[in-house]
Structure 1
Amino acid sequence: MNNTNQLPPSEMIKPAILYYGTPVILLSTLNEDGTVNISPISSSWALGDCIVLGLGIGGQAFHNLERHPECVVNIPGPSLWKEVERLAPYTGKYPVPEDKQQYGFTFLKDKFAASGLTPAASVTVKPARIAECPLQIEAAVLNIRVPEHSPDFAVIEARAVQVHAHKDIITHGSHIDPQKWSPLIYNFRHYFGLGDQLGRTFRAEI
């Protein structure tokens, strides 16, 4: 018989945010003048070649994807958290939307210069990749949906068309070595890396 007295106590709460621990993404999109905008986001998941992104509709990334449905999903490692944070208070949208002004955002066009990151030419899409990110996924946007219950955000469905990986994290041809690769995690608005390996699933191929 289970002894519920041994379980940790819990209570009902209403958190202001639900960033319960997801990888940080630096999303490259194409501006109207052909330059590249970089948007740090923390709502993303992938299954097969399907990538789902969550974006605020007031940002430049959403505007860019509506006009030019291509992007690069750049996934930084923990060592790049300072570069990510340098971009955090900036928006590529001008004029700056009022809601972003309230949170202290300011306009910045050249995100590469501000972050110290390096652009790299993509193969299948126009937005540039970010060379320092160990994983870079070129993607084509297939669908954009704004949920009725949350009209300030959009759900972006994209298809991965080309994946780039740093050589030092590749093993057995086309596998990512989980012993050498760790994503930067956004955990309730704080940056973390992964801890020690606990085990592996039965479907692990390496």
Structure 2
Amino acid sequence: MHRVVDLKILYFGTPVVLISTRNPDGTANLAPMSSAWWLGDQCMLGMNTASRTTQNLVRERECVLNLPASGLAAAVDRLALLSGAPEMTPHKIEKGYRYEPDKFAAAGLSPLPAELVAAPRVAECPIQLECEVLSSQPFGIDTECLAHSMRVLRAHVAEELIIPGTQHVDPMGWDPLIMKFCEFFGEATPLHPSRLATAWQIPNPATSH
């Protein structure tokens, strides 16, 4: 039996991304988001046009996509109602946002220089992706959102997450922070062997010993 529901949120479960960008004055901005999908070496981000991050992406054409592990939920949550723009939209005022020029300090996170882009990496995130912005296009009907198409230029992965002797991330060791219906989750339990992983010759540490 199914019931028709007027869902207010469609976040069924996606990894959280901390986007670091450079502000007009050269300082760093850091913002959490969970509207991202990936294909090959590219990804798509959906963001509101009024956000400082969107403005930075459109202007700078680059960023770092930092992927936090589940243990960083508290740090990510400290960023939830902070804005990098002093001018607040009525929507943000209603939701209780406040202006914070130093997002890294507010979250208790550490900036780390990137190698190919001006925006910093988040040192505490096990995976950091330096990216260029390929395009920014309006998204949806009667919405103030942009879909940002990104290409990953360089990936930094914590040594302990790399399967020895390979260029692959250990899926059992990687426990991404997941956002489901605005709540945080961490799920690192393997459920079923994947024929797709076999086809792509991705090693499975659980069965390789």
Q: Please indicate, yes or no, whether the TM-score normalized by the shorter chain is above 0.5.
A: yes
**Pair 1:114 & 2:93 matched:** no
Counterpart residue number, 1:128 = 120
Alignment-derived partner of residue 168 in structure 1:
160
2:54 aligned residue (56, 62, 68): 62
What is the aligned partner in structure 2 of residue 47 from structure 1? Answer: 39
Matched residues in 2 for 1:17 and 1:40: separation?
A: 17
Q: Which amino acid aligns with 2:193?
A: R
Asked whether 1:80 is paired with 2:49, we answer no
In the alignment, the residues of structure 2 paired with residue 147 and residue 154 of structure 1 have an alpha-carbon distance, to the nearest angstrom, of 5
CA deviations over 1:19-42 (Å, ceiling 9, x no partner): 110000000011001111001001
Give percent identity, aligned residues only.
37
SS in 2 for 1:141: strand
Q: Could you tell me whether the CA contact under 8 Å between 2:45 and 2:147 is conserved in 1?
A: yes
Distance 1:130 1:188 in 2: 25
RMSD: 1.0
Distance 1:147 1:56 in 2: 10
Q: What SS does the corresponding residue of 1:72 show, helix, strand or coil? A: strand
Q: Return the offset for 1:200.
A: 2.8
In the other structure, the counterpart of 2:206 is none
Higher deviation after alignment, 69-78 or 192-201: 192-201
TM-score by length of 2: 0.92
Unpaired stretches in structure 2, ≥5 consecutive residues: 204-209
Equivalent in 175, 179, 190 of residue 182 of structure 1: 175
Q: Report the number of matched residues.
A: 198
Gaps of 5+ in 1: 1-8
SS in structure 1 at match of 2:195: coil
Q: 1:197 aligns with which of 186, 190, 199?
A: 190
Give the one of 121, 133, 146 matched to 2:138: 146
TM-score of the two chains, using structure 1 as the length reference: 0.93
Letter in 1 for 2:30: I
Moved over 3 A (4+): none
